[in-house]
Amino acid sequence: MTLPLRPLGTSGIDISVIGLGAWSFGGDGWRFSWGTQDDAHSVATVHRAVELGVNWIDTAAVYGLGHSEEVVGKALAALPEADRPYVFTKAGLVWDPADPAAAPRRIMRPDSVRREVEDSLRRLGVDVIDLYQVHWPDTGAALNWDGTEPPEDARATELEEYWQVMADLKAEGKVRAIGLSNHGPELLERARRIAPVDAVQPPLSLLNRSAEPEIDWAAAHGTGVIAYQPLHSGLLTGAFTRQRLEELDPSDWRRTHPDFTTDLDANLRTVDRLSTVAREHGTTAGAVAIAWVLARRGVTGAIAGARRPDQTADWERAAHLQLSGDELEFVAGE
């Protein structure tokens, strides 16, 4: 099977329009867990995605506090070298090993970044990371929904300082391309003066369009865009209900997030519109949700998370699904 390919900006890397997101592979025992996860299921999911034509995996050091990268490395090692997908990972969220349940801190000090890249290379079992990304702008603070203040000893590293380190890693051959996740247009413009931004990774779904200025900036500068959470963490698959919420693992971060609790009924009305269009095409709400993201000008590819091989079943249809202008407006509620 094949999925369409698009160039990731000017990086020289052509990626399938759908990539596999490995956040859930981290398992439980950390602040932003999706709950318990069977490593064998994760490895099988990687292999199934590759069979479908997915040629990149997106992970991060912080997912499972290194465990997701280890699992991805295990899955890669079991594949023939010619079949191995590109590996994209992220730095800048640093955890306290003595308190794994604590929120990680946003840290991009040069010494910390260099430590992180070596750790990621080791866990992934690769010589070069294909796309290395800054997870969030450095604040020195905990990443938390409650707006936690940084500790007194925290020092935010200026973007120019950490982007230069990323550029140095690329020049040294440790990474092939460099990108910025969750950085707005002003920060992207500052970064561009230091070194080209090969890719950005913003959130984009029918329920979250806050990063559209970032996507417009990327389109104007020939920068690749890999959109995360096109299915809004499973909410737009068509399978999520209030009953499903109650059945989530107690450690699943979604159990307490407003999108899945106080705002759930409103969000499910968007799913109803997706399901209406999906029936016309003989497909799923999730496939339509991904197709909507892929139709957005400037988007190179979308990251779809999966925990089991069967959760990739509608990806090929999503990658090839062409929605009309009226359908795009309808599902967006316009």
Residues 6+ apart with CB under 8 A from 99: none
SS3 state at 59: coil
Amino acid at 139: T
For the record, the structure tokens of 138 come out as: 């450095």
Spatial neighbors of 320 by CB under 8 A, at least 6 apart, are 4
What are the catalytic residues?
63
Q: Which residues contact 2 (CB under 8 A, 6 or more apart)?
A: 53
CB-CB contact of 202 with 225 (8 Å): yes
Q: CA-to-CA distance for 60 and 78, rounded, in angstroms?
A: 20
For residue 128, the Cα-to-chain-centroid distance in whole angstroms is: 19
Cβ(76)–Cβ(125) below 8 Å: yes
Give the residue carrying structure tokens 């707005």: 184
Q: Nearest-5° angle of CA 130, CA 88, CA 112?
A: 90
